[in-house]
Amino acid sequence: MTNALATTEAIEALRAHLESSELSLDLPGAHEARRERTELIDQIDDYLLPRLRRLDAPLLAVLGGSTGAGKSTITNSLVGVDVTQAGVLRPTTRAPVLVCHPEDLSWFEDDAGVLAGLPRSTSATAVGSIGLRLVTSDALTPGLAILDAPDIDSIEVANHDLAAQLLGAADLWIFVTTAARYADAVPWEYLGLAQERAAALAIVINRIPPGSEQEVKHHFSAMLADRSLGATTVFTVSERELGEGRIGPELDPVRSWLQSLAADAAQRQELVGATLDGALASIPDRVDRIASALDDQAERLEALRDITTRRYAQALIDIDSELDRGTLLRGEVLDQWREFVGTGAFMSKLEAGVSKVRDTLRGMFSSGPTPDQQAAGQLESNLLVVTRDAVDRAALDVVEQWEARKGGEQALAASSQSITALSRASTDISGQIEHELAAWEEYVLDLVREQSGDKVTIARTLSTGINGVGVALMVAVFSQTGGITGGEAAVAGGTAAVSQAVLTAVFGEQAVRDLARDARENLIDRLSKLLETDRQRFDALLGDGTALGDPLRDVSSDLQKAMA
Ligand SMILES: Nc1nc2c(ncn2[C@@H]2O[C@H](COP(=O)(O)OP(=O)(O)OP(=O)(O)O)[C@@H](O)[C@H]2O)c(=O)[nH]1
Ligand SMILES: [Mg+2]
């Protein structure tokens, strides 16, 4: 440990990164990665940072293992007093009990000390279910504390999580198992963790039927050797009648080993350093597993985002081609417009020359309602329906496609909106469309005003003024006749031709083309923004997507550099 300060800073940076690296989607492996992340954050808080700050602090030995293996019984037996409850009901220990010499108490009470995140109590009985109870005893040698942890394998999941957290804070793991249980899978998982972290480890095989000690030890040691744990210190404890709930001389080897460890500062220091180095060295692999899970999440989120982007882009294309088909000029709009300018009759007059057109239009608009505005209104409401339908269909498709993909359903469930609400355009979409269309109409009229310039007189003479020309321009924008058939085509064609004629008479051919294109682009632009707003409802469910694996790997390699 050459540079404790740089290492501490690098660990703090890693911790901050881990904290913000959420694994929200339930993808394969996400559960394990979440657990790995929690364990690493806990170990940083509970153990690494406090240990790096105080390398000379007392050594903490944590008794971990299966329920009923005798962890609490061993703890009480080592102390010679009942400091923790042992019992026949499984699991017995829910709240951990830490026993230390009175001289060492201040270190374990310290807010910046080991396991500082757990609430403390020094009362005789546990307060609540999760706090750490501190007990002092003169039976222990100063410099070494023992902690009786909950089990790793009962039905109580909270116990396992706490046990894993406590083992993460240990300078020394004392793994307690029994002759009957040592071949179980769960204990070996934990031994695998101890191995990955190169934590100092000792094993107690408790409750061995007298006479079988050698056989059990032999078999168990072979299993350890198979897993490259052959060098582990193993104690065997024969099962005898308990005296006042405590194990007798059978526990002496464990007791004296711990006492000599506590008494030998150099050996203690070496053990503390080895576990610390092991924990630090285990970080890159652990981070890498979390980073891979983050990559999976990012990839999945990207795929979901892609579905949304593509589907809403399609919605805009759908609206655009609806404009191309001239569908918007169907029905009422045509009637209004026909009423406004007439068709056949108007056309023949148009052919007779501009002056005749003027006369006709002047005649038409000298009195009565303003059908140009009705036509514009109708156009807008048609456009509203087309747009809303396109957004409705896009939203429904996105929901259906997300539901069919891993993580998608979960992302949907995270929304404050119901699936029904998500499956259609946002409730205020009509208002938004109306607002945009009104703004667009303004824009078109401004275009006409701007273009008219010195031709403004002609415009005025031609019709009731700018408005009429504006509607003519709007009609021109929607008047591709591609998809319209039969009689409607003729009408629409005629209608469009009339629009075209009015505009051409005012502005000339090239300007009309430019104006129509400009107006159309502006409309599509507005609709595109509107779709984007609606799409945001889905994008927001995917988070900002910035928590990727590589930045996490980077801080982990910074840590390696700091340690080097
Ligand atoms: N006879 C005998 N009984 C033991 C011995 N060790 C444990 N027991 C009994 O086994 C039962 C379980 O022991 P505990 O010490 O509560 O086991 P634990 O590992 O703390 O269990 P959890 O707290 O549930 O994880 C108790 O009834 C003990 O009395 C032993 O060496 N000899
Ligand atoms: Mg117990």
Same-domain status, 87 and 232:
yes
Ligand 1, residue 85: give the atom nearest the CA.
16
Percent of the chain with pLDDT over 90: 58
Residue 330 is predicted with a pLDDT of 60
350 domain-assigned: yes
DSSP string, 371-386: HHHHHHHHHHHHHHHH
Residue 484 is predicted with a pLDDT of 33
**pLDDT tens by residue, 27-60:** 999 999 999 999 999 999 999 999 999 989 999 9
Percent of the chain with pLDDT over 70: 81
Provide mean pLDDT across the span 170-183: 94
Indicate the burial class of 541 (C-beta count within 10 angstroms; 0-12, 13-18, 19 or more). Answer: buried
DSSP H helices in 101-148: 105-109
Q: Residue whose CA is closest, atom 28 of ligand 1?
A: 87
Which of 10-14, 181-185, 364-368 is predicted most confidently?
A: 10-14
Q: Are 114 and 169 in contact (CB under 8 A)?
A: yes
20 domain-assigned: no
Provide mean pLDDT across the span 416-426: 94
Residue 474 is predicted with a pLDDT of 78
Phi, psi (5° rounding) for residue 148? Answer: -90, 110
Same-domain status, 331 and 255:
no
Q: Is pLDDT at 547 greater than 80 in this prediction? A: no
Domain boundary among 237, 263, 289: 263
Q: Is pLDDT at 93 greater than 60 in this prediction? A: yes
Same-domain status, 339 and 258:
no
Provide mean pLDDT across the span 498-515: 75
Q: Is pLDDT at 231 greater than 80 in this prediction? A: yes
Provide mean pLDDT across the span 89-100: 88
Q: Which of 66, 67, 72, 175 to mutate to test the pocket of ligand 1 (most atoms within 8 A of CB)?
A: 72
Residue 96 is predicted with a pLDDT of 93
From the CA of 175, which ligand is nearest? 1
297 domain-assigned: no
Helix 466-477 crosses helix 332-341 at what angle (to 10 degrees)?
140
Residue 91 is predicted with a pLDDT of 80
Same-domain status, 215 and 332:
no
Q: Residue whose CA is closest, atom 32 of ligand 1?
A: 239
Q: Cα of 97 to ligand 1 centre, how many Å?
A: 15
Average pLDDT, the chain: 84
Residue 319 is predicted with a pLDDT of 92
Long-range contacts (CB closer than 8 Å, 24 or more residues apart) made by 512-519: 512/476, 515/447, 515/448, 515/451, 515/473, 515/476, 516/473, 516/476, 516/477, 518/447, 519/440, 519/443, 519/444, 519/447, 519/473, 519/474, 519/476, 519/477
Which residues form the domain of 142? Answer: 55-263
**pLDDT tens by residue, 115-145:** 988 888 876 655 555 689 999 999 999 999 9
- pLDDT bucket at 209, cuts 50 / 70 / 90: very high
Q: Which of 92, 159, 254 to mutate to test the pocket of ligand 1 (most atoms within 8 A of CB)?
A: 92
Same-domain status, 497 and 350:
yes
135 domain-assigned: yes
Q: Cα of 395 to ligand 1 centre, how many Å?
A: 60
Q: Is pLDDT at 339 greater than 90 in this prediction? A: no
Q: Cα of 149 to ligand 1 centre, how many Å?
A: 13
Number of domains present in the structure of the chain: 2
- pLDDT bucket at 371, cuts 50 / 70 / 90: low
Ligand 1, residue 250: give the atom nearest the CA.
31
Ligand 1, residue 207: give the atom nearest the CA.
31
424 domain-assigned: yes
299 domain-assigned: no
Residue 32's Cα: distance from chain center in Å? Answer: 16
Q: What is the CATH number of the domain that holds 59?
A: 3.40.50.300
Domain boundary among 248, 263, 278: 263
pTM assigned to the model: 0.75
- pLDDT bucket at 510, cuts 50 / 70 / 90: confident
Same-domain status, 259 and 341:
no
Ligand 1, residue 63: give the atom nearest the CA.
19
Q: Cα of 183 to ligand 1 centre, how many Å?
A: 18
Residues framing ligand 1 (Cβ under 6 A)? 67-73, 86-88, 90-93, 150-151, 206-207, 237, 239, 242, 247
From the CA of 88, which ligand is nearest? 1
338 domain-assigned: yes
334 domain-assigned: yes
Provide mean pLDDT across the span 140-157: 93
Q: Cα of 541 to ligand 1 centre, how many Å?
A: 49
Q: Cα of 34 to ligand 2 centre, how many Å?
A: 27
Q: Cα of 210 to ligand 2 centre, how many Å?
A: 23
Q: Is pLDDT at 367 greater than 80 in this prediction? A: no
Peptide bond preceding 91: is omega within 30 degrees of 0, i.e. cis? yes
Q: Cα of 182 to ligand 1 centre, how many Å?
A: 15
Q: Cα of 92 to ligand 1 centre, how many Å?
A: 9
**pLDDT tens by residue, 285-321:** 999 999 999 999 999 999 999 999 999 999 999 998 8
Domain boundary among 263, 280, 315: 263
Q: Which of 62, 73, 74, 90 to mutate to test the pocket of ligand 1 (most atoms within 8 A of CB)?
A: 73
Q: Is pLDDT at 333 greater than 60 in this prediction? A: no
